[in-house]
Amino acid sequence: MNRLRIKFFLLVLSTLILLNGCMTDSSENNEVADTLSTQSNEEVENVSAQLPYEVNYNEETGRFSIVENPETETTSLNGETLANALKNKYPEIDLRLGDRRNDTLDVYIEDASYLTQNIGTAGANAYMAEATFAFTSLDSIKAVNFIFEAGDHASPGAYKRSDFDDFH
């Protein structure tokens, strides 16, 4: 499973670089890919909590899908556990849980530059989908209100699972 995640991560990274043109210098691309590959190996092994849902990329269809993670024990999930799992998977995106208002959970990202500028639209959508599905797996949470400064590839606001219907 770890190899599959690493392959998926590298595939998404290379797709983002090609499709979104966020980086133009090929030496930068190689350096970033090498760094992320090394980080991915270490981070995947150190993750204590798993996300309840994962975004997968289908090479044949060229589409993303979000699927339930069979390795997750949903009985022990809470907001902090999910926040830590997201931080472990995406260490460049430091999120902080905010207040819960009715069926909505506020999630703050103080420095969203990696999310909004560095991982492209597909990477940002994958992150937002995984975070939304994770937090809406909590009892009576139906929406996640992301609070951060908007950028090229992601926008703040309240997201529901239905916002990612194209991932199915």
Burial per residue of 44-62, b for 16 or more beta-carbon CB atoms within 10 angstroms, e otherwise: beebebbbbbbbbbeeeee
pLDDT value of position 104 = 97
What percentage of the chain carries pLDDT values higher than 90? 48
Provide the pLDDT for residue 12. Answer: 53
What pLDDT does 60 receive?
A: 85
pLDDT band, very low/low/confident/very high, at 84 (cuts 50, 70, 90)? very high
What residue numbers bound the domain in which 156 lies?
A: 2-167
The total number of structural domains that make up the chain? 1
* pTM of the predicted protein model: 0.68
